[in-house]
Amino acid sequence: MSKTAVITGASRGIGEAIARRFASVGYDLVLTCINNIERMEKTAAELSASYKVSVRCFKADMGDEESVERIFDCIDRVDVLVNNAGISYVGLLQEMTYEDWREVMSTNLDSVFLTSRAAVRKMLSVHSGRIINISSMWGLVGASTEAAYSASKGGVDAFTKALGKELAPSNIQVNAIACGVIDTDMNSRLSSEEREELIGEIPAGRYGTPAEVAELAHMLANAPAYLTGQVIVMDGGLT
């Protein structure tokens, strides 16, 4: 029987790269996004044709409980859950509204709780599963003018460590990838000067790529079961 991977925020960037990597090794996919559904469906059709796998797409807010429950009601089994959906907010804290704060927390942290809860219910029945949370180095060290984003990713890291302990007796592994500066649309707001200055601070001398994050996610899906509750930093040596 084919394995199934659920990947949130899969319309572009890291999520799309992870979908491509898992499809390439024969996983059936369940992909979600809140925007860009047409792009995600195009990718799904391409992956299905290229790798002969099932790919289902859902447009939904993964920070909404009813939406998450509806999607997981359509899924028979979950072998791997990749929580990638995320947004950022750049600006001074005193200028941030509560609505802005809640949007970041709902998308980046509430979604991880909701999808993990739904997936775990299915994983427990087979005493097996992998949860991989896409986090950020800013959850570890904090980023100026990104207090909400940093707080949400710090929450993801703590959630990963706690849930890893909780589920270890059930043979379900929970790990996170704390990404550094990855070449995605989220970082495209930087000017060329800012980009070059940032690259100069990264020991590896470049941005990371979505494909590299996808490769690490695939490695975690196949890692020894004794590896759980870990936040693995992938930042080119920056922190």
Q: Which amino acid is at 28?
A: D
Report d(CA 157, CA 138) in Å as an integer.
11
How many of the other CB atoms lie within 10 Å of CB of 49? 10
Q: Where are the beta strands (DSSP E) in 62-128?
A: 80-83
Backbone angles phi, psi at 214, to 5 degrees: -60, -40
Give the residues across from 177 on adjacent strands: 134, 232
Closest C-alpha among 122, 34, 37, 109 to residue 78: 122
**Catalytic: which of 27, 51, 149, 226?**
149
Place of tokens 């909780």: 166
- The yes-or-no answer on residue 89 being catalytic is no
| End-to-end Cα distance, the chain | 41
Residue 34, helix vs strand vs coil:
coil
Closest C-alpha among 188, 151, 132, 148 to residue 12: 188
How many of the other CB atoms lie within 10 Å of CB of 223? 17
Report d(CA 111, CA 68) in Å as an integer.
8
Q: Known catalytic residues?
A: 149
